[in-house]
Chains A and B, each alone.
Chain A
Amino acid sequence: MVTGQTFVGLLPEIVVFLFSITVLMVGVFLPRTTGLTTGLAACGTLATFVVTVVLLAVRFEGNFFGNGYVVDDFALYFKLIVAVSAFFAVLAAARWSGETGDAPEYLNLILSVALGGMLLVSMRDLFGIFVAVELATIPSYAMVAFDRSRRESSEGGMKYLLTGMIASSILLYGIVLIYGAGGSANLGDLGQTFSGQLSPVALLGLVLLISGFAFKVSAAPFHFWTPDAYQGAPTSAAAFLSVAPKAAIFATLLRIFLEGMPEAATTWTVVLAMLAIMTMFVGNLLALRQRNVRRMLAYSSVAHSGYILAAFAALQGAGLQTAIQAVLIYSAAYLTMNMGAFLVIDLVGEEAKSYNGLFTTRPGVALSMFVFMAALVGIPPLSGFWGKAWIILAGVQSGSILVYVTVGALVVNSVLSVPYYFGIIRNMFFEEPVTGAEEPKGLGAAKFSVYALAAATTLFIFFIGPLAALVGASGLL
């Protein structure tokens, strides 16, 4: 039954939807108004953020549409992450989309992905989840291919589209099998019927479901599209797509596993542990060979998916609570450091050489990039460290040998990742500046985003306490 409560619960989504339509309409009826549309889109994400914060502050909770849609602290938290990353993506897109004159369309795509991600984290029904996943990914294909002036963009978009379609069908197949085996698509009902003893059909469904999601979060061996897509995509798209949809999908995975199949934990933790170990190694080893910063960051995002999956492997025993905290903390930390690193590419360039001597020529940007790289390695007290520390904590608490191995792999991989992240730092601080490298003009918004994200990465330590408290109150346990 649709009541007033339903509208309140859907308020963040309604706001972002209205703004996305408005942006598009303004673009149609008032051409050549990039500034206006960008401002509108930024206001839209901010308004969404504010609404979500208010809902979180008044502790709004509720189940809607026959238990298929839930608003709880957990969902609201991830909506915040999506809204914040959309905000920075809009700012980063300002200059680039202004040049091509396609600002309204591009901004509309960003807001649509955000809408999909925000719906996704609230879904409690497997088919609803599928629809939301598609809503978040279909506009993202267009975003990747949006830069028509570069061939790589279309190439990356095409690859992304093809693999994404296959992934979606695998995901749907897995959902159908689970629906057949469990007798319901609703996670609450599924949790009652889905027992520890998995039938072959249910097991196949589970594996297909995980594979489909693995494509979406670019976990190895389903990561092949990532470097090409991120290299071809406009920077703002790469930055946004590597954070917001991923975080939403990790959130929904948590919900599926913990609400829908807690009894089968012994099975899916094993699968995810394997996936995590493989993803970490593949991402880091391939990133080591990259000279192009975009590709390097693409592989780095593969590696970081592996780290988050390691937290999923620890979702057992006494580690449950800490592992959920780890996913929440890591998602927010990843937003700050990864988005920042991608946005620096717009300011400096994508060749590793263009970072030479940045410390002397542009100390502010160099310092920010330094913070992002160090955070991605996991140096305290920067944001990335807390994510990794929480995963190790959860792993130790879980008390399972396989998880110990996974956590050990995480430690090894953190060290393995030092050379490529610090290669950039080395170029920025230790090398002589490139002559004639002029600072591009009109990057005020992007510069602001980079500085804001660098500040957030540095001061992340102050968010940890409230975050950990929030998990205790989240709707998952």
Chain B
Amino acid sequence: MPTLLESYQKHLAAAIDGRDFVVMGENVDNGSRISGLGKNLDKLSRTRVLNVGNCELTHVGAGMGMMLEGGNMVLLVKQLDFLLLGLDQMVNTLNWIRANARNRGKPLGSFTIITYICDQGYQGPQSSLVDLSGFCSLGSFPGFILQEYHQIEAVLQREVNRPGFRIIGLPQKFASRPVLQENAAYVDEANGVRLYGTEAETCIVSCHSSFASASDLRGRLGEQGRRASILLSAIMPGADPSLALAKQPDLRSVIIMDDAKGAVKWGDYVARKCLTRFPDLKLHFYERSLPQSFGVQPDEVAWDHSELFQPLSTP
């Protein structure tokens, strides 16, 4: 079984091979090639790999400018928090590009940022930002966190070649582990949803990097004779991930699982959609609590099942 990183490398190369792409990043053609994010891309036909200086704001702006001109860029970034420097471009420039859509004389290109999300623990007070949904919310653009083999293939093939902007994250704690692999029973690309299993009475909505934890919880529920599915939700402001719940006629409860650290989470957005569309469903939350300390601490989430598992496991 390939690792998550190997799966990413394979499917990114397949997505851009033979197409005009600029792949840009700091040390992208040197050393570890950004911890493997840029591995082998310089061997692809028609792909230009640019090693560039340390100026993330300019990199993001350059991607926007290239997209505006109809070009395609993949920007590889070592970790999500470096992108805080580029937020102006992701919000203001992107807004302008969308507002000006009707005047555009040529097709929009594609701009994708691919970055590690440093959630492997002990990064310290800095360099431990994991809330991709915060970025996506500010700029109202889609975000994807790669976690399952078929999802990785689908996201990279579809998104990297699609006009417009998005961020794709790799959870660093899973990068060198064997990738999870499961066929989705239902896919709704427009709403950023992949549904694993349908004959369920409980659906675990997996947000941010929680797919492995959701799989673990589904196993625990299964041991109790409870049938559970997983709805892997990409971050897509404006979408309605809850629509996929209608595919599960026996559904009685939904667990929102989100391992992001912020006070406002993507899981909260999904929960609002669920409550609006399916007010009779019971909603439970597996959400990471706000940090009690801003010093060094593990980023691995130790979920406390005791509070929620009992009501969930009771018929």
A, B assembled together: no
Question: Which residues of B pack against A, CB within 8 Å?
Answer: none
